[in-house]
Amino acid sequence: MKKLLICVLVLIVALAVVACGGDDTQKPTPDVTQGPENTPDSDVKDPDDDGAHTHDFKEVVTLEPTCTSLGKKEKKCSCGAVEGNEMPLPFAPHNAKEATCTEDSVCATCGKVLTEKYGHLFVDSVVTEATCTVDGLARSTCHRCGTSTDTVVAAGHTYDLTKLTVSKGSAGSTCTKCGQTVTFAEKQTILKLDFDSEAEFANYPAFTVEKPSEMKYENSTLQTNGALWFKYGADVIPSNSKLLVSFDFKLTTAGLTHRGESIFSFTSRGGNSYAWIVKYYQADGVLSTQDSGHNASNSVPATLNKWYNCTAILDTATNTVSVYIDGVSIGSKTVHNHNDAKYNNNFELRFFDVKSNGVSMPYYDNFKLVEIK
């Protein structure tokens, strides 16, 4: 019992000492377990700061750039502190779609045309080949965007007009694809005179007809005394085309035989000078193109008072006239360019010269001018 009492007394005394505390004789005991205060990870330290905050600068955009103006940025800490000066930001890219075949690339923000439209790049292809009798289909497709357009290719025969078969009063050709032979149709006839009456000339107002003083209709033929001219503008004849001229004729009497009898001229000299294409040489009894060698191989025998057919093919691309008598070639001649203004843009067919040149009282029949195409 005595021992317990002592323990209680000791405890009371100890508590009393702690409670009194601030005894001058007591000194604080340094805490040896703590190191130097607050060592941060950051090595940036504001000298003005008392060490409580270390800045963490991050780049912040202060002005957004556009495609036409520069932007700005700075380094800023969450506390508001700024490091260094503002720095420029580069232009923003334009806001545009890619250019296409049909549309420019235009910036929606500033309106600048960045790339002009390319335009289509068409490549042609054949979908179905046209034949002589069935239409074909051609397709034009843009290599870039795929846009395509179809075109119907008309069916039709293909004639090589450099290889005409000329017979009495007509010309034909053979289709290079199918072999079908055609004779160029009457619908391509530009001028047709049967010489049944004077009224026929009125059917062709585009043509100027210069008649000789004497004209006589007899058994559906025409007899003249002197030259007969047909004149018309060059525009009547399409370029790069061919024309067929055909007429039947009969010579009655001849005069100045040493020069030959002028029968037919296909000219464009505006009435001044003529290169007679076909002549009759009575002394030799031949029809020939006009040249010094009228007895050459390109002539055909002929006599007075007999009907002959003269067929001539004019190639307006080369201004060449090829002449046939009763379907037999007597050669070619070059004539003047009918499109040349020097020749009044006028094209003329002249039949038989005036009586003083030798031919008198010829007969005509079945004249026609046909376009070959």
User: How far apart, in whole angstroms, are the C-alpha atoms of residue 115 and residue 124?
Assistant: 26
Buried b / exposed e over 171-180, threshold 16 CB at 10 Å, is: bebbeeeeee
Least Cβ distance, residue 199 to Zn ion (angstroms): 40
> At 32, is the secondary structure helix, strand, or coil?
coil
User: How far apart, in whole angstroms, are the C-alpha atoms of residue 72 and residue 62?
Assistant: 5
The nearer residue to Zn ion, 151 or 252, going by C-beta atoms, is 151
Q: Map the footprint of Zn ion across residues 69-128, applying CB under 5 A.
A: 77, 79, 81, 94, 101, 107, 109-110, 120
Least Cβ distance, residue 238 to Zn ion (angstroms): 22
Neighbours of 150 (CB within 10 A): 11
Kindly list the strands in the beta sheet with 228-233, ordered across the sheet, starting from the edge strand earlier in the chain.
208-210, 228-233, 346-351, 261-267, 278-281, 286-289, 299-301
Position 137 contacts Zn ion (CB under 5 A): no
The nearer residue to Zn ion, 95 or 356, going by C-beta atoms, is 95
Least Cβ distance, residue 262 to Zn ion (angstroms): 41
The nearer residue to Zn ion, 81 or 190, going by C-beta atoms, is 81
User: How far apart, in whole angstroms, are the C-alpha atoms of residue 243 and residue 55?
Assistant: 100
Position 185 contacts Zn ion (CB under 5 A): no
Q: Segment contacting Zn ion (CB under 5 A): 26-34, 52-60, 200-208, 248-256?
A: 52-60
User: How far apart, in whole angstroms, are the C-alpha atoms of residue 308 and residue 26?
Assistant: 161
The nearer residue to Zn ion, 157 or 259, going by C-beta atoms, is 157
The nearer residue to Zn ion, 79 or 87, going by C-beta atoms, is 79
> Which residue from 298, 297, 295 is spatially nearest to 284, judged by alpha carbons?
295
Least Cβ distance, residue 177 to Zn ion (angstroms): 4
Number of residues that bind Zn ion (CB under 5 A): 21
Least Cβ distance, residue 290 to Zn ion (angstroms): 38
Position 175 contacts Zn ion (CB under 5 A): yes
Give the residue, chosen from 127, 178, 296, 317, that forms a contact with Zn ion under the rule CB under 5 A. Answer: 178
User: How far apart, in whole angstroms, are the C-alpha atoms of residue 185 and residue 25?
Assistant: 146
Buried b / exposed e over 86-115, threshold 16 CB at 10 Å, is: eeebeeeebebeebebeeebbbeeeeeeee
Q: Segment contacting Zn ion (CB under 5 A): 180-188, 261-269, 328-336, 344-352?
A: 180-188
Least Cβ distance, residue 53 to Zn ion (angstroms): 6
Least Cβ distance, residue 67 to Zn ion (angstroms): 3
The nearer residue to Zn ion, 102 or 334, going by C-beta atoms, is 102
The nearer residue to Zn ion, 99 or 256, going by C-beta atoms, is 99
DSSP labels, 270-294 = TTS----SEEEETTTTEEEESSS-T
The nearer residue to Zn ion, 182 or 206, going by C-beta atoms, is 182
Least Cβ distance, residue 75 to Zn ion (angstroms): 11
> At 5, is the secondary structure helix, strand, or coil?
helix
> Which residue from 48, 54, 43, 49 is spatially nearest to 77, judged by alpha carbons?
54
Please report, as ranges, the residues that interact with Zn ion according to CB under 5 A: 55, 67, 77, 79, 81, 94, 101, 107, 109-110, 120, 132, 142, 144-145, 147, 157, 175, 177-178, 180
